[in-house]
Structure 1
Amino acid sequence: MGARRFDPWSPEFVAYPYEAYADLRENTPVTYFEPTDQWLIARYEDVNALLRDRRLGRTYLHVATHQEFGREPDPEYLAPFWHVIRNGMLDMEPPDHTRLRRLVAKAFTPRMVESLRPRVQKIAEELVAGLLAAGGGDLIEAVAEPLPVTVIAELLGVPEPDRHLLRPWSADICGMYELNPTREAGEKAVRACQEFSAYLRDLSRERRANPRDDLISALAQVVDSGDRLTEDELIGTCVLLLNAGHEATVNVTGNGWWALFRNPDQLAKLRGDLSLLPGAIEELMRYDTPLQMFERWVLEDIEVRGVRIPRGSEVALLFGSANHDPAVFADPDRLDVTRQDNPHISFGAGIHYCLGAPLARIELQCSFGTLLRKAPDLRLVREPEWKPGYIIRGLKELVVEV
């Protein structure tokens, strides 16, 4: 019954998937979904465990060919896309993942990330000032999108005149993460990967020769026991940092403000006590999860709640459902900015836990905090519409007045 209500191509489902998730959790927590050839995993306990289970992987190509896994080879036209993506750590497994993450972590240190806070705050204040001067507008276009894009562009070292290129490239590449992407989406992603790769190749070579105080220079120079990133790995890493470094942050901002507008008591509570903000950010990530599903390949036969899932299968881990599981979260469908016990999995878990989580938290705290302080009368003009995408789930716009 649950799988029939799970309809990721339905605008109504995308707008509010949580009733269908409740049905899945209660009736069919592990179920095969034929339209995408995936096993849906709906309960927190199972999602959390499978994210950490080394019998699953983000890829299977380190243990088998496409044919050995009963899968069709990649279409030839997608080769440039997969070349970029598979040189980033998200689509690697150990030992390659371990090596690459260690190298990137040497450049992307917690201390370096925390040192960005004053600059992130300044960018947030400038963007909010623009929104205030205009008397309002689209909060996503005015604040939510430009903040993380500007931060990641400055962090990488992308010159200001080129930064307008980043958001379109990222959007086109991320189109391939939706379920059953079309040929058109694939061609747009390929074009974006080719253009972005060529740009980063030139930039990284220039920074290798003439290093500056930016992440591309640091990645180009980083060495650990004689090991270093290849040029393709550096490019794959930068593409991943851009995509992961702003798509989710944009949607937490938009989805989060929409949730606060729908729950005025919680918005009032937050406005009255800004010390609640760090916990409120975690609650907004849980309440309307920006990345609804994460996929894994089954590398060895597994059993989940008595259901055998054979090697070669793909599981769809439903983050949005896990984050609303009443077995873990008291009254999960209620937004509570004072929620204390909040082990949400919006950043994942296990070896692929989001490396950029500390930066995302800084960006969100600066963005929400500045809007709460500088725009205390911020209000919604009209109910927003959702973008059609289900996996990376966010609003088309969020029009506000100040």
Structure 2
Amino acid sequence: MRFDPWSPEFVAHPYDAYAELRQRPVTFFEPTGQWLVARHADVNALLRDRRLGRSYLHVATHTEFGRPEDPAFLDPFWRVIRAGMLDVEPPVHTRLRRLVSRAFTPRMVEALRPKVAAIATGLVEDFVARGGGDLVAEVAEPLPVTVIAEMLGVPEADRHLLRPWSADICGMYELNPSVETQRTAVRAAEEFSGYLSELARARRADPGDDLISALALVADGGDTLTEEELVGTCVLLLNAGHEATVNVTGIGWWSLFRNPAELERLRADHGLLPTAIEELMRWDTPLQMFERWVLEDISVGGVDIPRGAEVALLFGSANRDPEVFAEPDRLDLGRRENPHISFGAGIHFCLGAPLARIELAESFGALLRLAPRLELAAEPTWRPGYVIRGLTALEVRV
């Protein structure tokens, strides 16, 4: 199979194509004008290499980089996205991450564990009482949305708005998005930004015990987040903070159903859960690609890649690299040496990784306890997206 990110067959199983790509240091992919990087060592190194960036606008204009100007209709989208830390580079990224880290602390995240456990248990109890259904829509999606909404302080009556906004914005991260997808993302960014701006202003005036209040008040030597930066940060926290958890849950259970011996192993020993979650993230990765711009000429495996080029780092391929993982195509829930890069690496390593791990542990744990004979009711279909990869639904019986 060849690399074809618009093919449903490839999206469902890209790993044979990745094995071929790993035979070469890099491969130029004409349809997107990107250099595909498939080997773990190269992906890991380029994630940490400061000669590359998620953006180039801190060092050059679009024209200087040989790129077209952004269409004017995308301005509202980029204003929100570039106010968060994912699509900016130092020194702006350094400042934003420092400020956000003061509010979004490991201690705060760990303190959420009992609340996450209670939400997960309640969702699974209701799911079991109904006899099963769509695991994605009824357990995987509501858990992280509820958790991040409670963290941010979004009122319960408004939470139904969050997932559609997030999904529409994330459509822009797919390869060559259509104009319709772009316009949908702009509308979602405008609506989400307007909603959060109003909420942030209310919290600045009357702070509560929530993350928006903490972000609104956070300061470091007199430095604070602007309203645009606060909104951009909240959009990023919601998008990144639940897309991964939703997709790992759906794909993870589908992986277990495809590997019944490993599922029985986990059912017999819930103590395997920590390594099992890491292995499920490695074996069938939700975030398949992370793109970066080349800010200075580089060489990968002896192949020169010039300034102005874009590299596509293939996380799913890196996570199946036999140079790093013994028997990489085998799901091994007890795998101890597991340096997967599903959360990235370097300065853009996922800030929400600790929270995602807590949510996954509590969600999988509750299902193992309360639905010990969970079984597949219908083979799932994949959403059309390749970069952010997930199932449309996962129908199961308890």
TM-score band, normalised by the shorter chain?
A: over 0.9
1:5 to 2, 7, 11: 2
1:53 to 49, 52, 69: 49
Q: Cα deviation per residue 1:358-396 (whole Å; 9 max; x = unaligned)?
A: 000000000000000110010001111111100000111
1:29 to 16, 19, 25: 25
CA–CA separation in structure 2 for the residues paired with 1:382 and 1:95: 49
CA–CA separation in structure 1 for the residues paired with 2:330 and 2:342: 17
Q: Which residue pairs with 1:272 in the alignment?
A: 268
- In the alignment, does 2:16 pair up with 1:19? yes
Question: Which runs of 5 or more residues in structure 2 are unaligned?
Answer: none
Q: Which residue pairs with 1:366 in the alignment?
A: 362
Q: Which residue pairs with 1:182 in the alignment?
A: 178
CA–CA separation in structure 2 for the residues paired with 1:327 and 1:355: 28
Q: How does 1:2-401 map to 2 (within 5 A)?
A: 5-26=2-23, 28-401=24-397
Deviation at 1:253, TM superposition (A): 0.2
CA–CA separation in structure 2 for the residues paired with 1:338 and 1:363: 20
CA–CA separation in structure 2 for the residues paired with 1:329 and 1:349: 18
Deviation at 1:298, TM superposition (A): 0.2
AA of the residue aligned to 1:168: P
Paired residues of 2:27 and 2:36 also in contact (CA < 8 A): yes
What SS does the aligned partner of 1:296 have?
A: strand
AA of the residue aligned to 1:238: C
User: Alignment length, in residue pairs?
Assistant: 398
Consecutive aligned runs of 4 or more in structure 1 exceeding 6 Å deviation: none
Deviation at 1:20, TM superposition (A): 0.2
Q: Cα deviation per residue 1:124-165 (whole Å; 9 max; x = unaligned)?
A: 011101111110100001100000000000000000000000
AA of the residue aligned to 2:137: E
Deviation at 1:248, TM superposition (A): 1.0
CA–CA separation in structure 1 for the residues paired with 2:131 and 2:22: 44
Over the matched positions of the two proteins, sequence identity in percent amounts to: 75
TM-score, with length taken from structure 1: 0.98
Q: Cα deviation per residue 1:194-253 (whole Å; 9 max; x = unaligned)?
A: 000110010000000100000000000000000000000000000000000001110000
CA–CA separation in structure 2 for the residues paired with 1:261 and 1:224: 48
Paired residues of 2:15 and 2:317 also in contact (CA < 8 A): yes
TM-score, with length taken from structure 2: 0.99
Q: Cα deviation per residue 1:304-353 (whole Å; 9 max; x = unaligned)?
A: 01111000000000000000000000000000000000000000000110
CA RMSD of aligned residues (A): 0.6
What SS does the aligned partner of 2:31 have?
A: helix
CA–CA separation in structure 1 for the residues paired with 2:159 and 2:380: 27
